[in-house]
Amino acid sequence: MAAAPFGAAPVISDGQYTSTLYGWIRDGKYADVELVLRAKLRESPKSQLVTAAHGFIPSLAAAAMHSRKCATTTATATKTTSQIKWAARRRALQRRKLVGSTRTPRAAMNDDDVVEPSAGKAFSQQAMTDFCVALACRTGLLYGPPEQCTPAPTTLVPAAFPRASYERAVQLAPAMTRLADATCVDPAWLEQALAAAARADVFTDALIRVRSAAEPTRAAAAGGGGLTLGVYRSDYMVDEPTGRLLQVELNTVASSFGALSTLVSRMHAAALRFASADAEACGTLDETDDSVLPRTSDVEGWPPAPANVDAAITRHMPENGALEGIAAALAAAHVAHGRIRGTESARRHIVFVVQPGETNVHDQRLLADRLWQHHGIPVIRATLAQLARHAKSSRGSSTPSSSVPCDRLAAALRDVPDFADTADGAAKILADAGYEPGANGGRLFYRGREISVAYFRAGYTPNDYPTAVEWAGRYAIEASSAVSCPSLALQLAGTKKVQQDMADTDELRTALERKAKADGKSAREGGVEDDVASLLDAFAELCAPNTDVVARAAADPQAWVLKPQREGGGNNFYGDGLAEKLKSATAEELDAYILMERIRPASQASWMLRSARPTRVQETLQELGVYSASLTYDGQAIKDMTLDGGGELDRAVSGSALGHLLRTKAATSDEGGVAAGFSVLDSPWLE
């Protein structure tokens, strides 16, 4: 039985021993990466080999000593071939406590299965890298500000992911969407749920205050007031000890990387085709296998791929429609805004609210390109400060009235210590710009263009509000009839505290019943009990850090994660840091945190590409995100509105899965997040 390598790379060498990374396609099936260690010595006792390996691949050496394969292959090494194969996914024993026990290694290959590429013919890591870098540049799979962007951090090949867990995550999307919508139906409940956290955290407090200051104007805004688009990403890890798919968090604001993750899936498929085509050219595929037929790729410039590789890709790599789906959701909101406002003004634009010096530009621009090219909708980009300074209630200049209701904004911020000094300034900025909240039916203009949808890719961290000017920008949108993606209520619904509340069965049921009622349905019609059961099944243990749980967590800090009310990665406490924080924080301070059971995913070897350079193979963990979207009127389903007769737009906001994101991080890293620099973009190979 033949096996074709799709990648081979000298990973490390100390002169005597060389380790090489291979990916294998066996029987048309991509069979993950493996390390091959070659000893250059003909006579190499097992102990010497393992000691040598210890010197430069500690985790593999540790695994090797426990490997049944070790004895056999060492024997081979002392004879002639000097070849040892070790499954790279085995992780270092010393990490067992941190990352859980290793996934059962795949059945070891027989030596006969191995077709070793001969020197010069092997598909090299450099060739693979060159292919991926070139493809990333051609397709826009880029990261960084325009003047310094590089190919986005990715892996070179997909990661193995359990098919059942992937399918479960996709199935959960409609229930997760209903849950997000449910938690913002009733702002009074939301405020009460977040009251203690807001007392301890000035940012949460400011979000709540600005939301309630803008609420009357938002509600009164004629027509489109109160329309909210939710673009969600529910993140999961598979807990290895229990095999359960557990939610890490539900993102309701700036759920990013949909566009780039779509391109990664496509890049990986192309790279496998390319590599296997190259392997075929090297004569490494079984020539007697009739199913191995060259196939001309339908994408110009890509080399032909063997048919069985195509079949394997189709079978194992799920389609990823996140880019198209999220763009369609934004288009749906734009169309709904036009319908409700009774205008199809060609001058309406979607605004992407971005951070100054944004680094994830291409993920956003790909969405903007899709909106313009496929839906004919123009997009402009603006920071919160730019919006504050140029917001208007009508196309032309207007004379602000003396009773500018954005005084409410000043009042709201005045009570928040950090913003007290500049609170009046915020209101004045809007008044000077000519923005009168609620005037002209709540219409919002920015540099002469009417805004249909404000899509936030900023505004989720206190760093995005360095002065009250940025709060003024946020308020201007919240108080207008433009569709907010998300509204402040929906952003608050995605906080860690609300996530923790929803892990309580009664709270969850009540929230879903409230949503069903708001939609004019009974609990039964709304499928509340089914949702409760499937959602609870996906929740890890989540608790408020009260005395009971604090004692448990302090006694076993490796089993918990302590999370503040923050988004964007890099904020959580683990292990010793967690124990320390629990000790030093007062009970009031801990109100801004939640405690979450630590999920222990299995590790596997990955080969990453950062700044266009391949990294060493390393043990990694995977986190799967599933995107979905919904369009609501203050949390309630919009009745009697079909946007395109059950077509692309309606489907996009139906709550079903739109696509996925797989992120891979080093097994030694507690944190995740691509933008935060911990993870890289990956794609799942389902098995």
Instruction: Give the footprint of ligand ADP on this chain (CB under 6 A).
Output: 235, 248-249, 540, 561, 563, 567-569, 571-572, 596, 598-599, 623, 671-673
Q: Are 262 and 323 in contact (CB under 8 A)?
A: yes
Q: Determine if residue 5 is left, alpha or beta; phi over 0 gives left, psi from -120 to 50 gives alpha, anything else beta.
A: beta
- Residue 378 or 568 with smaller CB distance to ligand ADP: 568
- Residue 230 or 400 with smaller CB distance to ligand ADP: 230
CB-nearest residue to ligand ADP: 672
- Residue 239 or 478 with smaller CB distance to ligand ADP: 239
Q: Could you give the string, one character per residue 232-261, with x where binding to Mg ion holds by CB under 5 A and - elsewhere?
A: -----------------x------------
Interaction partner, residue 571 (ligand ADP, Mg ion, none; CB < 5-8 Å by kind): ligand ADP
Interaction partner, residue 540 (ligand ADP, Mg ion, none; CB < 5-8 Å by kind): ligand ADP
- Residue 262 or 620 with smaller CB distance to ligand ADP: 620
Distance (Å, whole) CA 208 – CA 228: 17
Burial class (CB in 10 A: 0-12, 13-18, 19+), 152: buried
DSSP state of 351: E
- Residue 359 or 373 with smaller CB distance to ligand ADP: 359
Distance (Å, whole) CA 503 – CA 481: 33
Produce one character per residue of 641-678: b if its CB has 16 or more CB atoms within 10 Å, e if not: eebeeeebbbbbbbbbbbbbbbbbbbbeebebbbbeeb
State how far the alpha carbon of 318 is from the alpha carbons of 116, 237, 315, 628, in Å: 30, 18, 8, 16
Q: Are 527 and 278 in contact (CB under 8 A)?
A: no
- In whole angstroms, the minimum distance from the beta carbon of 37 to Mg ion comes to 36
- In whole angstroms, the minimum distance from the beta carbon of 540 to ligand ADP comes to 6
Residues 337-366 that bind Mg ion (CB under 5 A): none
Interaction partner, residue 563 (Mg ion, ligand ADP, none; CB < 5-8 Å by kind): ligand ADP
Interaction partner, residue 4 (Mg ion, ligand ADP, none; CB < 5-8 Å by kind): none
State how beta strands 684-686 and 159-161 pair: parallel
Amino acid at 378: P
Amino acid at 181: D
- In whole angstroms, the minimum distance from the beta carbon of 69 to ligand ADP comes to 31
- In whole angstroms, the minimum distance from the beta carbon of 569 to Mg ion comes to 6
- In whole angstroms, the minimum distance from the beta carbon of 567 to ligand ADP comes to 4
Is 614 strand, coil or helix?
strand
Distance (Å, whole) CA 477 – CA 451: 9
CB-nearest residue to Mg ion: 249
With both helix axes pointing from N to C terminus, report the angle between 163-182 and 528-538 in degrees, rounded to the nearest 10.
120
Burial class (CB in 10 A: 0-12, 13-18, 19+), 444: buried
- Residue 169 or 387 with smaller CB distance to ligand ADP: 169
Binding residue count for Mg ion, defined by CB under 5 A: 1
- Residue 165 or 481 with smaller CB distance to Mg ion: 165
- Residue 321 or 672 with smaller CB distance to ligand ADP: 672
- Residue 190 or 599 with smaller CB distance to ligand ADP: 599
Distance (Å, whole) CA 114 – CA 24: 9
- In whole angstroms, the minimum distance from the beta carbon of 609 to ligand ADP comes to 20
- Residue 249 or 634 with smaller CB distance to Mg ion: 249
Distance (Å, whole) CA 369 – CA 362: 10
Interaction partner, residue 561 (ligand ADP, Mg ion, none; CB < 5-8 Å by kind): ligand ADP
Q: On the CB side of 191, how many CA atoms lie within 13 Å of its CA?
A: 13
- In whole angstroms, the minimum distance from the beta carbon of 75 to Mg ion comes to 48
Interaction partner, residue 671 (ligand ADP, Mg ion, none; CB < 5-8 Å by kind): ligand ADP
- In whole angstroms, the minimum distance from the beta carbon of 233 to Mg ion comes to 8
Q: Are 61 and 53 in contact (CB under 8 A)?
A: yes
- In whole angstroms, the minimum distance from the beta carbon of 441 to ligand ADP comes to 36
Interaction partner, residue 568 (ligand ADP, Mg ion, none; CB < 5-8 Å by kind): ligand ADP
Interaction partner, residue 186 (Mg ion, ligand ADP, none; CB < 5-8 Å by kind): none
Written as one string, the DSSP assignment of 270-309 is HHHHHHHHHHHHTT-S-TT-TT------SSTTPPP--HHH
- Residue 114 or 661 with smaller CB distance to ligand ADP: 661
Interaction partner, residue 623 (ligand ADP, Mg ion, none; CB < 5-8 Å by kind): ligand ADP
Amino acid at 487: S
Q: Are 155 and 610 in contact (CB under 8 A)?
A: no
- In whole angstroms, the minimum distance from the beta carbon of 320 to ligand ADP comes to 19
- In whole angstroms, the minimum distance from the beta carbon of 334 to ligand ADP comes to 28
Interaction partner, residue 140 (ligand ADP, Mg ion, none; CB < 5-8 Å by kind): none
Name the residues that contact Mg ion, by CB under 5 A. 249
